[in-house]
Structure 1
Amino acid sequence: MGEFEYGTDGPKLILAAVDGSTTSLHAGAYAVGLARRQHSELVVITVTTTPALSGLSADAVTVLAESAQSLASDLHEQAKEYLRLLKMEARLMTVHGDPYIEIVRAADDLRADAVVVGASMKAGHRLVGSLAGRLIKAGKWPVTVVP
């Protein structure tokens, strides 16, 4: 677990998860501002997923995986342009898999001091527990949920 050093007043490394949803883009922008103010290292992660639908052909799965990868590339191009305009640097990562598992893995591997995610806009998540809620329950790092 990342620890704050005496004499510093903020996180050294912030992990922001961005998936293209409006709230995740707000989270990314918030994380950039936070990293800038706190002089923190910023890592932006995009987790691509392929829905596990048994009725899909191998070709359909390939198309879905390619479109997920294409979305991640587009997001990273937008992020690079945004960061360039702000004269900020960040590490951009794309991983494939379950968003919760991959964000936890990245936060642990990077020894993140803070995780920033967007609030889920899916209605069912209020009942079942969103990605943000699961990350908070993990209790490993401060989690900021941006609307």
Structure 2
Amino acid sequence: MYDTILVATDGSADANRAATHALEQAEQHDAELHAIFVVDTDRYAEPALSSTELETMEIEEWGNQELSEIADRGEELDIAVTTQCCHGKPYIEIINYADEIDADLVVLGYHGHSHAKGEQIGSVTDRVVQNAGRPVLVAT
């Protein structure tokens, strides 16, 4: 049913649950798994020789660590995970990457780090669900 699955992470608890679901689906369907982390340029400025450059670089490094953890979990299950760390507006980058790899399924957490816990879905997840044009699994 699924040949290519994309999971997006921001390192939050819900994103970690999304990674678990994505790994389960990839294993069950013998699918390719891709994982993406987006450095949110609305929250973190693009590096430009300033004090924010260090913060942006730290977020990117942290994102790569989160992606490595997903890849390591995949390796334990004999699932190769292709990782992508990029800068931009998260929902746009997630949708663009899903389009680029022609993902059959996108897996996201219900809330991310930037969203206060509650009953309302996170803004990135909401925008991806509304605009992806493909199946989206939302992990809670």
**CA deviation vs aligned residue, 1:22-81 (integer Å, no higher than 9, x gap):** 10011011101101101111111111124257xxx9532101111111101211232232
1:27-38, aligned counterparts within 5 Å?
A: 27-38=18-29
Could you tell me which residue of structure 1 aligns to residue 123 of structure 2?
130
Correspondence 1:13 to 2:4? yes
Could you tell me which residue of structure 2 aligns to residue 95 of structure 1?
86
**CA deviation vs aligned residue, 1:84-133 (integer Å, no higher than 9, x gap):** 22221111111111101100110111111110000115238866962111
Could you tell me which residue of structure 1 aligns to residue 55 of structure 2?
64
State the alpha-carbon separation in 2 of the partners of residues 110 and 80 from structure 1.
Answer: 17
State the alpha-carbon separation in 2 of the partners of residues 125 and 133 from structure 1.
Answer: 14
State the alpha-carbon separation in 2 of the partners of residues 13 and 80 from structure 1.
Answer: 15
Q: Taking structure 1 as reference, are residues 40 and 66 closer, same or farther at Cα in structure 2, changes over 3 Å only?
A: same
Q: Is the 8 A contact 2:7 2:107 kept in 1?
A: yes
Letter paired with 1:119? Y
The unaligned stretches of length 5 or more in structure 1 are: 1-9
User: TM (normalized to structure 1)?
Assistant: 0.81
Letter paired with 1:46? F
The unaligned stretches of length 5 or more in structure 2 are: none
State the alpha-carbon separation in 1 of the partners of residues 2 and 28 from structure 2.
Answer: 10
- Pick the structure with greater CA Rg: 1
State the alpha-carbon separation in 2 of the partners of residues 11 and 95 from structure 1.
Answer: 25
1:79-90, aligned counterparts within 5 Å?
A: 79-90=70-81
- Sequence identity of aligned pairs in percent? 27
State the alpha-carbon separation in 2 of the partners of residues 106 and 11 from structure 1.
Answer: 16
